Amino acid sequence: MSSRPPRDDDLRRLVVLLTPAAVPVSMAAVFAGLNRRLPPRTAYNAGFAVYWLGWCTAVPLAVLGPRRALRVLSTGRRPTGGEAAALVLPVVGGLVTELVPRRRQVNRRVLAATAGTAVLNATAEELLWRGMFLEAFPDDPVRGALWPLAGFSLWHLAPQIVLPSRHGRAAFVLGAAIVGAASALVSWRSRGLRWVLLPHMATDACGVTAARFRLGLPRLA
């Protein structure tokens, strides 16, 4: 029996398949380690920098290459009415639970932070958690959509090591799962990320508490 090395495609699929387990575990270790050594705000921002640059950028680009990454970000058929409603639901949730109750805490700096972070985070996360899996497992809804949804949801426990949600960890993860489920459904059915990016950005832009924390502003009740 010959022992030939796995093909590049096999290695890429293995990396993709391990990602939903590796990200929550590794990022929990990163945030915990940073939190022990740095002030909370610095630890929080540094942890997200590791997440965005490492997992959300370097890994998808290594797996897909720049052309495939751009293609999956820019393609996808127009969603149906039901799919559009699913995408709007998390946005409404963000408005009701976070932005509207804290609207008086939003100034120009906070607005710039929420908008900039939303564009960066939503694009990076959709590429990692949806686009990469859609390209690697286009005919397997379990490995291509449900398995990354589980990893996406659980990863949101890691930043709470530094900044716990006032709603509780379980509620925060549930909210993330709703965002992820809407994106997973529509991206899988539309075969691309084009129509899920803006709703994800809009939901993330409601994060007034996180934006104020990133800027070093007081965390108000």
For residue 6, the model assigns a pLDDT of 56
Q: CB burial class (10 A; 0-12, 13-18, 19+) of residue 120? A: middle
Examine residue 113 and state whether it is found in any structural domain, yes or no.
Answer: yes
* Within-domain flag for 148: yes
The span from the CA of 78 to the CA of 149, in Å, is: 22
Question: How many whole angstroms separate alpha carbon 28 and alpha carbon 210?
Answer: 18
The pLDDT score that the predictor gives to residue 3 is 47
The answer to whether position 221 is within a domain reads no
Domain count, the chain: 1
Q: Is residue 146 part of a domain?
A: yes
Per-residue model confidence as pLDDT tens digits over 46-88: 999 999 999 999 999 999 999 999 999 999 999 999 999 999 9
Query: Is residue 220 one of the residues assigned to a domain?
Result: no
Q: Return d(Cα 71, Cα 92) in angstroms, integer.
A: 29
Q: Which residues contact 14 (CB under 8 A, 6 or more apart)?
A: 6
pLDDT, tens digit, 9 for 90 and up, residues 14-42: 999 999 999 999 999 999 999 999 999 99
Q: What is the residue range of 40's domain?
A: 8-215
Please report whether residue 1 resides in a domain. Answer: no
- Distance separating alpha carbons of residues 146 and 181, to the nearest angstrom: 8
Please indicate, yes or no, if residue 158 is contained in any of the structural domains. yes
Q: Could you tell me if residue 66 is inside a domain?
A: yes
What's the sign of the alpha-carbon dihedral 33, 38, 44, 46? negative
- Quick check: 147 and 13 in contact, CB under 8 A? no
Q: Is the pTM of this model over 0.85?
A: yes
Which SS3 state, helix, strand or coil, does residue 161 take? helix
